[in-house]
Amino acid sequence: MTTITVALGDRSYPVIVENGLLARAGDHLAPLSRGRTMAIVTDENVLPHLATLQAALHDAGVASEAIVLPPGEGTKSWAMLETLTDRLLALGIERGDHVVALGGGVIGDLVGFACAILKRGCGFVQVPTTLLAQVDSSVGGKTAINTRAGKNLIGAFHQPALVLVDPTTLDTLPPRQVRAGYAEVVKYGLIDDPDFFAWCEANAPALIAGDPQARNHAIAQSIAAKARIVGEDEYETKGRRALLNLGHTFGHALEAEAGFSDRLLHGEGVAAGMALAYAFSAEQGICPPEDAARVRTHLAEVRLPDGLAAANSRQSGGELVAHMMHDKKMNAGTLPFLLARGIGRTYVDKQVDLATVAAFLDRQPR
Ligand code: GLY
């Protein structure tokens, strides 16, 4: 068992990583239940894990009530937020209760936001069941829904009280989803940990294939990196947490081109985006070209998109940059870019000229 603390003063919380943890979750959840029925929110794809969790709670003497929502990004909507908050209110959830979010990033983000506003804030616990949610979205308190104008535009910072990560839930995850989640793992190496990037180069195939040792090491390393950055800059105001957006601005444009559909998963967009951020940095003379090549080679080796062609992009540089302008990081007409001086040397650049980015994208092979 590995426990990582997200250090946020009196809102600090543990992230526990352990194989088989779901079946033992009652031990960790019973103290939060206050002897009351716990609400578990999940989606239809997660039903086998729901059964395990409910049995674990039952064994620990905790009654539970499940709310099962449809799977998919469409669930992060105003309509589903209303459905969920109505259901939670009907269950009589109080501020001192803890709602359990069991699932991937969609469930975690929606439930977190519902709990941020329910009775002006109730407790919640993240039990992430996808690699992407385990290494990124379940930790750090970003919660949101999507609107007509874009993804994650309505939300709040609301930290969970506890995160329970059972890596064995990934055994049944489709391989494409595992690879997409891996993009967020390798991102931590590229941000500020060249040794971890080298570890990823050597171990990614085993990790993606489900080797328990490699997988658990990668998950724990990633959560530790995220916990450290969130502890330094919870509200993304000090320039540290923004580093977690490496690959996301280019990736966002590609996801927008694909209509935020299954044609390009979020992690796939981030992978292509990281390759582009490094290629752009190299073209600007900021990053050694061999480092940019190393990033691209690694992503291709693990069968993640390594640029525009692999992401099936057809749009012009100008059209892609237009998508970027809808990014919520836009600040007084400028868009901060995550660029790199080398492997593990990511920084925020607020001076990037969007016309230069568009011209760079137009030169990329399709
Ligand atoms: N996923 C980026 C962040 O939590 O800040």
Q: Are strands 38-43 and 64-69 parallel, antiparallel or unpaired?
A: parallel
- Token pair recorded at residue 50: 């729901």
Alpha-carbon separation of residue 85 from 64, 88, 90, 206 (angstroms): 17, 5, 8, 41
Q: Are residues 333 and 284 in the same domain?
A: yes
Q: Are residues 21 and 153 in the same domain?
A: yes
Cβ 186 vs Cβ 298: under 8 Å: yes
Q: Are residues 110 and 254 in the same domain?
A: no
Query: How far apart (Å, rounded) are the C-alpha atoms in residues 183 and 148?
Result: 27
pLDDT value, residue 307: 98
> How far apart are the CA of 226 and the centre of ligand 1, in A?
8
DSSP string, 167-179: GGGGGGS-HHHHH
Q: Are residues 229 and 287 in the same domain?
A: yes
Band of the pLDDT at 91, cuts 50, 70, 90?
Answer: very high
Q: How many residues does the chain have?
A: 366
At 123, is the secondary structure helix, strand, or coil?
Answer: strand
pLDDT for 321 beyond 90: yes
pLDDT for 333 beyond 80: no
Number of folded domains that form the chain: 2
Cβ 127 vs Cβ 160: under 8 Å: no
Cβ 164 vs Cβ 25: under 8 Å: yes
At 350, is the secondary structure helix, strand, or coil?
Answer: coil
Instruction: Tell me which residues have their CB closer than 6 angstroms to ligand 1.
Output: 136, 140, 142, 241, 244
Arithmetic mean of pLDDT, 59-77: 97
**Active site (catalytic) residues:** 120, 142, 184, 226, 236, 241, 245, 248, 252, 266
List of residues 6+ apart from 288 with CB closer than 8 A: 282, 342
Range scoring the smallest mean pLDDT among 7-16, 144-153, 294-303: 144-153
> How far apart are the CA of 151 and the centre of ligand 1, in A?
14
Band of the pLDDT at 330, cuts 50, 70, 90?
Answer: confident
Q: Are residues 161 and 202 in the same domain?
A: no
Cβ 101 vs Cβ 149: under 8 Å: no
pLDDT value, residue 347: 98
Last residue of one domain, picked from the residues 127, 143, 172: 172
Cβ 105 vs Cβ 31: under 8 Å: no
**SS3 readout for 13-51:** EEEEECCCHHHHHHHHHHHHHCCCCEEEEEEHHHHHHHH
Q: Are residues 201 and 146 in the same domain?
A: no
Last residue of one domain, picked from the residues 146, 172, 198: 172
Model's pTM, two decimal places? Answer: 0.96
Which atom of ligand 1 sits closest to the CA of residue 236?
A: 5
Q: Are residues 190 and 290 in the same domain?
A: yes
Band of the pLDDT at 236, cuts 50, 70, 90?
Answer: very high
pLDDT digits 0-9 by tens, 181-201: 999 999 999 999 999 999 999
Q: Are residues 159 and 185 in the same domain?
A: no
Q: Which domain holds residue 210?
A: 175-362
Cβ 12 vs Cβ 226: under 8 Å: no
pLDDT value, residue 329: 78
Query: How far apart (Å, rounded) are the C-alpha atoms in residues 322 and 332?
Result: 16
Which atom of ligand 1 sits closest to the CA of residue 241?
A: 5
Q: Are residues 11 and 127 in the same domain?
A: yes
- Token pair recorded at residue 38: 């716990």
Q: Are residues 76 and 167 in the same domain?
A: yes
Query: How far apart (Å, rounded) are the C-alpha atoms in residues 131 and 137?
Result: 10
Among 61, 186, 41, residue whose Cα is nearest residue 113:
41
Arithmetic mean of pLDDT over the chain: 97
> How far apart are the CA of 80 and the centre of ligand 1, in A?
23
> How far apart are the CA of 140 and the centre of ligand 1, in A?
7
Which atom of ligand 1 sits closest to the CA of residue 137?
A: 1
Query: How far apart (Å, rounded) are the C-alpha atoms in residues 121 and 132?
Result: 25
Q: Are residues 120 and 250 in the same domain?
A: no
